[in-house]
Every structure is written in C-alpha cells, then in structure tokens.
Structure 1
C-alpha cells in the first residue's frame, strides 16, 4: 500500500519562544522618548503662562506653544504608529505595539491602551512593573486591551534616521524650554522693575495728589476744583463733581489739607492703594481757623502715564478742633528773681 501525502502546506502558528518581547528597560526608554519632550515643554509653558498677565501677547505665545506640544505628543502616540508602524521612541528602541496575534495595533486600540495606563498608575504603579514578572512582558493595560510589545528587526540606515529625528525632537524641546525660560525671566524682571518704579512714584506723588484733590480756597475755588477733577479718573470724577457742587451750594470757605504720614498698601504697575493720615485747617479768618484731622484710603490708577485717584474712602471722618483764637495759650515764663542788695549775697 502506498501512502499519499498532501502537498498543501499547513499554516502553523509560531510558538511563543520564537517571538521576542520588548524588555522593561526598552519599553521605559521608548515611553520617555515619546512623552518627556512634550511634558517638559507643556510644564514650562504652563508655568510661564501662569506668571504672565493673562491676555497679553506673551501669554498667547506660551499657550500656543503649549497647545502645539500637546498635539504633537498625541499625534506621535496615536496617529504615527498607523502611518509608519511605531512611535518615535519605539522606533528608536526597535519595538512595536501589536495585538496578541501579532497584528499592528490601530489608533483606536492605542488610544484605549493609553487610557488604560491609568489603571497601571492607580494600582500604586504596580501595573507598570508587571512586565518584570509576566512572560509576555505585559502591563495591566496590555492585558486589558490584548496588546503586546514586540521586538522588530530594522535596517541600520532606518535606525540611524530615526535616531536623528529623535535627537532633533529632544533638541527642539530643550531649545523651546530654554527660550521660554529666558522670556519668562525677562518678563518677571521687567514686571518687578515696573512694580518697584510704581511704588516709588506713588510714594512720592500719592500724598501730593490727595492734598490737591481735597484742598481749595474761597478765592480760587474754580481753578482748584478743575485741578482736582483732573486728578480723578473718569469713574470717580462724577462723584467728585457732585461733592464739589454741594460745597459751592453750602458756601465755600478755605479748606487745606496736608499729609502727615502715608503707607503704600499694595501696588502693581498701573494700580496702587495708599493709607494716609491728614491734617488741615478750615476757614478764611485767621482768628477763626478750625483744625482738622482725617484718615483716608486712596486707590490710584495709572492712565497715560499719570496717576489718578480712582476711589477715595474716608476711614476716619474729619474731626474739627478748636479755633486758633480759642486755643489755650502756653503759660508765660516766670518773672526773673530780684537782684540782691549790694554787699549781700556773697
């Protein structure tokens, strides 16, 4: 009897020992190459944007670079493997993410796998270390999504090209972080200088502005009120005009204030707050002058390079003292003692 053999080849599945699974150090290195440049740029730009005034051109530059870094990282992790076979980091390390059957993992599976890495992290990072004991070197995310990370063979020229790209990406990330840090430093330095300049200006000009705002004379009231209005912001000028009109209706008398002490409460390049203790005198007749004391808080705003009063809050209402005529006089000095007679006192 003659045995007849089937010439049709049988399809067999390669045993597990013929598949080379990526080692834990290779996977960790690939992940760092994929994520670290983007994370560094995002963290740097977020910190710089936080220390920069919102809405300024520099803030928008930082936010735009941050958005580009996030987008580039996501494209590298989720879209690039479907186009060239692997992410930048995995290409450098010569590894690929595949299904358990060895087929390439598509973008939806890669997205789900990255989301599932939250499980690796939530389990006190045990999932990230699970490949050290698993024979297929799988994390919890791999087990959940039925994926594996395998070693693939590539030509030496392709390896050199990928390494050049990776080097260029790392260099670009470093340059962006350094440039952003330089811009941020200049911004902070300029901000500090502007604040210090504003503090010096308001410490010198603030008391004089409040004095001119509150002082007026019966003979020069029109000019004094016009000057006071120029020292107020548009928002506060309406209230100031109403107060001036009330003074004119009641009868104008000389009113003079001067600041005896002041303290800057807060300051920015275009806003400041100051606490002032004021003394003054009221009246036109020197014999009937009334002495005044008051405590006010002045909020200043800077417009077109000039400091103006935005809000004036009276913390301690003016107290009127005695007139000059009725004020107690200082006691007269005692008369000199009489001279002793001649011949005595020796």
Structure 2
C-alpha cells in the first residue's frame, strides 16, 4: 500500500512539474500582437469618421476597413486556435490556452474568456495584474472560464514573419486612412474656399440681373432672370414675373451696395447663402423717378459649372422715396 501511494504522489508531482504557466510579460505581449493591430485600425477609422466631412464612398471605405479588422481579430482570437491550436500572438510567445485538465479551449470558451476580460478592466485593472501573484498565473477571466495559459513549445514554423506582416498591414491601413482623410479634407476645404470666392464675386451681379428689368425689354429681361434660377425656384420666379406684367410695365434697376457670404448655413462646394443690401431706382422720368432700397437673403446652388439662384427671400421690403425728397 505504501508503494502505491508513493507512486501516485510521484506521478502527481511529475505532472505538476511538467506544467509551466505563461508569465505575465509573455501574456501581455501575445495579447498586444493579437489585439492592438485591429484596435489601432478601428480607432483610426472611427476617429476619421467623426472628424472629417464624409461622403458616401468615404464612409463605406472607413466602415468596411474597420469591420474587416474586427473580423480578422475575431478569427485570430477565437477560430484560429480551434484549427491550429494557436492565435498569432500566442504562437509567437509559445502560449496555449487550455482548460484545467489540459484540453484545448474551444472557440466558445475562448470567446467567453475574452468577454470576461471586461471584469479584469472594470476591477480597476486588478484582474489583469492578478497573474503576478496567482499560483497558476490566472486573470479573473481565467478563473471564470476555467482556463489556464501555459507555456508550450512554439510551432516549428517561423511565426515572426506573419506577425510582422500583420503589424505592417495595420500600420499601412492607419497611414493610408489618415492620408486619404487629409486629401479629402484638403480638397473639400479648397472647394469650399473656391465656392465662397465665386459667390462673393458673382452673387451680387446675378441678383442685380435677376431683379432689374426695363419697361421696353421686359420679356428678354425676364427670360434672362429665369435662366439664372434653378428648376426648383423657376416656377415661383415666373409667377412673380407674371404679377409684375399685370401691374404695368415699369423700369426697375437694382445694384448691390453691400454683400456678405454667410457662414450659417455653412458654405459647401455646391451651396452658399448670401445677404445683400440693394439700392435702385424705379421709372425713367426724372420728375417721377423713385429711389428704392431692399435687403435680401439669397441661396445659391451649383449646377454643373454654373451657380444659380435657388431661393430669394426679401428681409426688408423695398422702400421708395421721391427723387427730390
């Protein structure tokens, strides 16, 4: 009986001596290789999405890139160990996650283990430091998932090259995304500045032409005004012109005395809003000539290479005064 007990104790001691638990530094390195590349790509794409003006194609590029990075990280952490026995980071540092009995941890257990790492973080990061004094180098997640990270012989193939490629690809994606966003922002800012400059120069002249007409040239003047309007604004402008015709032919001439491109709503490469102060005169007879003034708010919209008036709102109705008054 004594011989049997001694044999069992010896076998247990030998088995315990054969198990080597992964150290904290090795586990941290493996986690960094597995998680940080994808985290960097996702964080970069999210930051760009929130800080740059987005169009449909750019939003899709950022979203798809972030999604692919998350899928790749998930496959590496949860699916690949079930196929090869390793994740990329663990193979690099010679670590394998197993159950307490030493059996390989399946994909579901690995997923639950990574989800349980939230507790390691919420506990003021104490769970991440727990392996420093735990006899089996376990985190809180290991305790909950009943897993252990053990040191084993690394795979025979050299995994440093794949790990380097992954890190390089992640870095290139971050740099490429940042460069693309910079080009988009730079191009957008240039286009906005060009739109502001064009409206500042062309806007007052367009409004003057739209509101000015002569009694003898009313029809061609009205046709010119309609050509300066967008399709959406043209019916309203035509109705206003019909009211003018019914009221009798009177020469009206306007010129801009002051104008400003508004920042609210913000200028875009296709839209801009301007505030104009106008003065003018009504009639041609010096004895009955009236001077008029008005303030208007005009919305411009770009159609092809042309700027057109999309809306004209009178903020201060025209006031008239006699020439001699």
Per-residue CA distance 1:136-187 (angstroms, 9 max, x = gap): 11111111111111111135x42xx211110111111112222222222222
1:243 maps to 2:240: yes
1:288 CA drift (Å): 1.0
Q: CA RMSD in A?
A: 2.0
Report matched runs for 1:102-141 at 5 Å: 102-141=102-141
1:95 CA drift (Å): 0.4
SS in 1 for 2:138: coil
* 1:296 alignment partner in structure 2: 296
* 2:194 alignment partner in structure 1: 197
* 1:33 alignment partner in structure 2: 33
The higher radius of gyration belongs to 1
- Please give the alpha-carbon distance, in whole angstroms, between the structure 1 residues aligned to 2:309 and 2:122: 55
* 2:260 alignment partner in structure 1: 263
1:185 maps to 2:186: no
Q: Which moved more, 1:45-54 or 1:291-300?
A: 45-54
1:226 maps to 2:223: yes
* 1:342 alignment partner in structure 2: none
1:71 CA drift (Å): 1.0
- Please give the alpha-carbon distance, in whole angstroms, between the structure 1 residues aligned to 2:236 and 2:190: 34
* 2:92 alignment partner in structure 1: 92
- Please give the alpha-carbon distance, in whole angstroms, between the structure 2 residues aligned to 1:306 and 1:53: 24
1:297 CA drift (Å): 1.1
SS in 1 for 2:159: helix
* 1:53 alignment partner in structure 2: 54
Per-residue CA distance 1:85-107 (angstroms, 9 max, x = gap): 11101110110111111111100
1:49 CA drift (Å): 3.7
1:15 CA drift (Å): 5.0
Answer yes or no: is the 8 Å Cα contact 2:255–2:279 preserved in 1: yes
- Please give the alpha-carbon distance, in whole angstroms, between the structure 2 residues aligned to 1:117 and 1:286: 88
1:31 CA drift (Å): 0.8
Answer yes or no: is the 8 Å Cα contact 1:97–1:149 preserved in 2: yes
Give the alignment's TM-score, normalised by structure 2. 0.91
Q: What is the total number of aligned residue pairs between the two structures? A: 316
Report matched runs for 1:142-153 at 5 Å: 142-153=142-153
Answer yes or no: is the 8 Å Cα contact 1:216–1:254 preserved in 2: yes
- Please give the alpha-carbon distance, in whole angstroms, between the structure 2 residues aligned to 1:173 and 1:165: 12
SS in 2 for 1:86: coil
- Please give the alpha-carbon distance, in whole angstroms, between the structure 2 residues aligned to 1:231 and 1:25: 71
1:62 maps to 2:62: yes
SS in 1 for 2:291: strand
- Please give the alpha-carbon distance, in whole angstroms, between the structure 1 residues aligned to 2:233 and 2:304: 17
Larger fraction in helix: 2
SS in 2 for 1:284: coil
1:16 CA drift (Å): 4.0
SS in 2 for 1:318: strand
1:282 maps to 2:282: yes
Per-residue CA distance 1:96-140 (angstroms, 9 max, x = gap): 111111111100011111111111111221211111121111111
SS in 1 for 2:188: helix
* 1:310 alignment partner in structure 2: 310
- Please give the alpha-carbon distance, in whole angstroms, between the structure 2 residues aligned to 1:257 and 1:142: 80
- Please give the alpha-carbon distance, in whole angstroms, between the structure 1 residues aligned to 2:73 and 2:127: 22
- Please give the alpha-carbon distance, in whole angstroms, between the structure 2 residues aligned to 1:241 and 1:316: 21
- Please give the alpha-carbon distance, in whole angstroms, between the structure 2 residues aligned to 1:53 and 1:301: 20
Answer yes or no: is the 8 Å Cα contact 1:52–1:59 preserved in 2: no
Gaps of 5+ in 2: none
SS in 2 for 1:286: coil
- Please give the alpha-carbon distance, in whole angstroms, between the structure 1 residues aligned to 2:84 and 2:37: 20
Give the alignment's TM-score, normalised by structure 1. 0.86
